[in-house]
Amino acid sequence: MRRVEWNRPMAALSFVIALNMISMRMQALYNDATLPAKATIFKDQANYTTVMRQAIRFPHDATCDSITDTVRSMAQCQHMRHFGITITEQCVWVYPQHGPTLVVFQSLYQWEQVWFLWIKLALRCLLTAYVAWEMRVQYYSHCRALARDIRAFGIPDPVSPIHRIEVYIGDPTCLTLGNPIVSTCFVVDVWMSVTSVGEVMLQLSQLDDVVLIMKGCLYASRTVWFAYFSMRYTTVAIKWWRISRWVVPLDPTAIAIGATVLSGPLLYINARTSLVWLQYALWSIGVRDGDDATEIFPAFMPSSRTKHETNMDERLRRYSSMEYNDLNQRIVLSLVQSSRSDRTRGGSVYALYDLDAMFRHMPMFSHRSADCFVVGYDSDDVPIEHLRVSLLQCLDIHHSAMSICRTAHPTAICQLNTKRCATSSPASKLRIHSGGTKSQWLL
């Protein structure tokens, strides 16, 4: 086999010429003569381009060298690749003005094709359909079964006759986020839109256009999926090392609100301060060439703390109460349920978590908002019974101290106690007694 080599000087020259050709069109479109006089940032709708102009400070020596050196090239471009595929061309060029003034332009040209955008839309539609199906199977079908079982068996052990029963369903968000496929697919979707992230960072690096800032903050809130992804897969290590007692479950709604409020300001600080040099330093880890860079992956959201900090607050709460809930459900329930019953039952899983946090199936996620509330009314339409029920899938039923009684009991809801049954393990201290139709709800 004959050996064939590229002539390196000619290859380098060809590469430089190609980069110069790429930047020539942008230099002709965007320079000090073509841009509006006082506009800091604006959109070129005809070319689907966002343009930003900002005064920056250069080191004195670098500025003097650029003015006096008429030979050196005043433009440079770089390829930006995603999984080895070129997605953008980023160019920087200098536009000299009269006197000792230079204007530096930077542009980012996206190579997204129409077919790729259609594929991304189709994948998002499929992901949305899968999430809807997952919520139906894992939550809403159980809610329908709960209503059907209560209609058949009634509320267990009522103090007086019940004339009307009302069921308040919860929020299945935490259960959906616990699905590893969902969190992984949404993270991949964020990476597929990395070019849009670059434009959002441009919008968030200025303070003149408030509308663009708000749009940028809204789009940047998608980074919450990195937090959900980390929370989901950190659970594996937490369960493996048996350190659930050191972790406090987080409210997914509060995490989403925090991402919406904080992502924009954090990106602004990163773009306008010296923190950006830390990002560049992380990009250069493990690359062979000084001109290369590798993307960094947001790995873990620090979200754990010792449990003894909140034990006192939890003891003061009644686990069966509607107030013992996540933020969104607490607000909604306070609006739709004004009168409360003095007799409240349920929420036994939270007392169980106090005994051993390893009973949590997903220790990083708070599932309080997924609980349903069953309210019974008397003939005067006054609430006299108040039950809080939780899904069994939120509980680690494989815990060594627990067993499930397979005997069908004539109740609508499973119950947790220490009573023995013929079909329960005698070695277990705690037993879950199943309902008449294999209910998935625990009182």
CB of 439 within 8 A of CB of 345?
no
232, pLDDT greater than 70:
yes
User: Tens digits of per-residue pLDDT, 379-424?
Assistant: 888 888 888 999 988 888 777 777 777 777 788 888 887 777 766 6
User: Tens digits of per-residue pLDDT, 272-287?
Assistant: 787 777 776 776 665 5
CB of 244 within 8 A of CB of 304?
no
Cα dihedral 372, 376, 377, 383 sign: negative
Name the percent of the chain lying above pLDDT 90. Answer: 9
The DSSP 8-state label assigned to residue 136 in this structure reads I
Q: In 101-220, which ranges are continuous DSSP H helix? A: 114-135, 141-153, 173-177, 180-192, 194-203, 210-220
SS3 105: strand
Highest-scoring range by mean pLDDT, 251-265, 306-320, 400-414: 251-265
Average per-residue pLDDT in the chain? Answer: 76
Q: Which residue has the tokens 């169980």?
A: 352
The answer, as to whether pTM is greater than 0.75, is yes
| DSSP letters for 334-400 | HHH--S--S-EEE-HHHHHHHH-GGGBSSTTB--GGG-EEEEEE-TTS-EEEEEEEEEGGGB-TT-T
